[in-house]
Amino acid sequence: MATFTTRDGTTLFYKDWGDGPVISFSHGWPLSADAWDPQVFHLASHGFRCIAHDRRGHGRSSQPWGGNDMDTYADDLAQLFEHLDVKDVMMVGHSTGGGEVARYIGRHGTSRVSRAVLMGAVPPIMVQTPDNPGGLPLSVFDGFREAYLADRAQFFLDVASGPFFGFNRPGAKVSQGQIRSWWEQGMQSGFKNAYDCIKAFSETDFTEDLRKFDVPTLIIHGDDDQIVPIDAAARRSVELVPNATLKVYPGGSHSLGDTSREQLNADLLAFARS
């Protein structure tokens, strides 16, 4: 099991599969690197070196009391890149992981980065503010926290069974396996870490980070994403990232890596080879 210890003593687990140009994967809340396995396997099988880590407080990484914020997540990833001495990395981030990619570029630049992919990503900011009237009201995230504290296991089951994969839509093909996998990954996360991360992914403003992107960027989003609605996320992000390309998956859920797996795998491979 590959691990790395950050400067503040946090141990991060990571997968390092394949050989070739490097692609990194940052997962969503409250999951782990396992959420990316279909994409990591596909791209590593096509000549790429794929690195996917468990964010601090998630998966097999340690569960520190502090540092559950976007700045620290980005700094952890920067230290991992330095430890592995990787360059020309294509960074891929889903949901909260998309925020991690944005904050990494905002804080650390693109000296080690060749291109970026934001998929179902939380930037520029999820919560409703005077500058972001199309965001979700803070009461939505307060509701998340309330449900989390009341019965975390049931809350995770409800999210996975419904809006995350779009299994609450009429005619949806429900996969109990995907629900169980999501739930088990979520339950691996540290209790406080995942709680704190709700604030991190919903209230962090990535606007200035996005403006600092200077590498080819692909923004992928499902237009039926019930977790991160497309209008306040991808459609705004593409206006902020210089020369970004937006690819919309019609009817696509929040979890495109599962519900639109073949299309996403093909799109990531094509972008990596471009």
Which positions are catalytic? 95, 225, 254
Q: What are phi and psi of 268, to 5 degrees?
A: -65, -40
Q: Cβ(27)–Cβ(52) under 8 Å? A: yes
CA distances from 39 to 73, 145, 252, 262 (A): 22, 30, 17, 9
CA distance 190 to 206: 25
Beta bridge partners of 211: none
Q: DSSP code of 265? A: H
Q: Is the peptide bond before 250 cis (omega within 30 degrees of 0)?
A: no
For residues 273 and 159, the answer to whether their CB atoms sit within 8 Å is: no
Chain position carrying tokens 């999820």: 126
How far apart are alpha carbons 256 and 162 in whole angstroms? 15
Select from 170, 176, 175, 205 the least CA-distant residue to 69: 205
If one counts every other C-beta atom within 10 angstroms of the C-beta of residue 33, the result is 26
